[in-house]
Amino acid sequence: MNIKGSVALVTGANRGLGRAYVQALLDAGAKKVYAAARNPATVDLPRVQPIKLDVTNPDDVAAAAKAHTDVTIVINNAGIMRSAPVVSGRVDQAARAEMETNFYGVLAMSSAFAPILKANGGGALVNMLSVLSWVTLPGVALYSASKAAAWSLTNALRKELRQQGTLVVAVHAGYIDTDMVSAVQAQKTQPSAVAQQVVQAIANGEEEVLADAISRQVKAGLSAEPSVYLARNAA
């Protein structure tokens, strides 16, 4: 797909990885980028069209789809992480919040924009997943569950939208240097490095991006014996 001349919409575009996606799309020659944010006043990049969009709000999603029928690339980037052990009093609240944004938000956006992508020749739908779609860590198990659900949804969307010519891209990454993991001391990939790989993948027609060494290792480890998600000392 040619990025030059494309019209992109990025959710959660005001900071972190979403902001980097916007920049990478502009750098690659996108004609127009809708920078969607819960508070569009917080979008600080020039040359973009800020729009108000909370992915958990059906009215916002419907309004965005109604108003922006020229979109050819959708990047479902918005996401939240709530730390909670699987067994705790806070579990229900955390799990529902994460599923609302990380799963139902992606589903709502994909459903609303699939007909638009079709009408515009196919285009691309990118879902920001995680290495935690495949393995889990203490404290973020519910986030992992939401990203596992979003991975399965992405695989289903790929099959369903193939016939209309839409490229569906799954992006998996370990730690990325954003607010979401600012408390974590570990090696992190720069958001710009992830975003540039994804934009290149769209251009190349690739359906999956393993953005760093850990995501490549974990994917390879899924079929190891024992599998990476069974190993006692692994993530």
Residues 105-134 that bind ligand NAP (CB under 6 A): 105, 128, 130
Nearer to ligand NAP, 119 or 180 (CB): 180
Residue 217, class by beta-carbon neighbours within 10 Å (0-12 exposed, 13-18 middle, 19+ buried)? Answer: middle
- The distance of closest approach from Cβ of residue 75 to ligand NAP in the complex, given in angstroms and rounded to an integer, is 10
The site for ligand NAP, by CB under 6 A, has a size of: 29
Measured from the CB atom, is 5 or 44 closer to ligand NAP? 44
Beta bridge mates, 128: 171
> Nearer to ligand NAP by C-beta: 15 or 118?
15
Is 186 strand, coil or helix?
coil
* 11 lies in the binding site for ligand NAP (CB under 6 A): yes
Query: Should residue 219 be labelled a site residue for ligand NAP when binding is judged by CB under 6 A?
Result: no
Q: Is 79 in the site for ligand NAP (CB under 6 A)?
A: yes
17 binds ligand NAP per the rule CB under 6 A: yes
Residue with tokens 């691309």: 124
Amino acid at the residue 123: G
Q: Does 45 bind ligand NAP (CB under 6 A)?
A: no
Q: Which of 40, 45, 56, 91 binds ligand NAP (CB under 6 A)?
A: 56
Find the part of the chain contacting ligand NAP (CB under 6 A) among 25-33, 49-57, 84-92, 159-167: 49-57
Q: What minimum distance in Å lies between the beta carbon of 177 and ligand NAP?
A: 7
For residue 45, the tally of other CB atoms under 10 A from its CB is 14
* 175 close to 189: Cβ distance less than 8 angstroms: yes
Q: Which segments of the chain does DSSP mark as H helices, in order?
A: 16-27, 58-67, 91-98, 105-119, 141-162, 191-204, 213-221
Enumerate residues 154-213 that contact ligand NAP by CB under 6 A. 173, 175-176, 178-181
Q: How far is the CB of 96 from ligand NAP (least distance, A)?
A: 13
DSSP 103-127: IIHHHHHHHHHHHHHHHTTS-EEEE
Smallest gap from Cβ 20 to ligand NAP, in A, equals 8
How far is CA 159 from each of CA 26, 34, 81, 113, 170, rounded to the nearest angstrom? 29, 26, 28, 16, 13
**208-210 β-sheet, strand order:** 49-52, 32-37, 7-10, 73-76, 124-128, 167-172, 208-210
CB of 2 to ligand NAP, least distance (A): 25
User: Residue numbers of the site for ligand NAP (CB under 6 A)?
Assistant: 11-12, 14-18, 37-39, 53-56, 77-80, 101, 105, 128, 130, 173, 175-176, 178-181
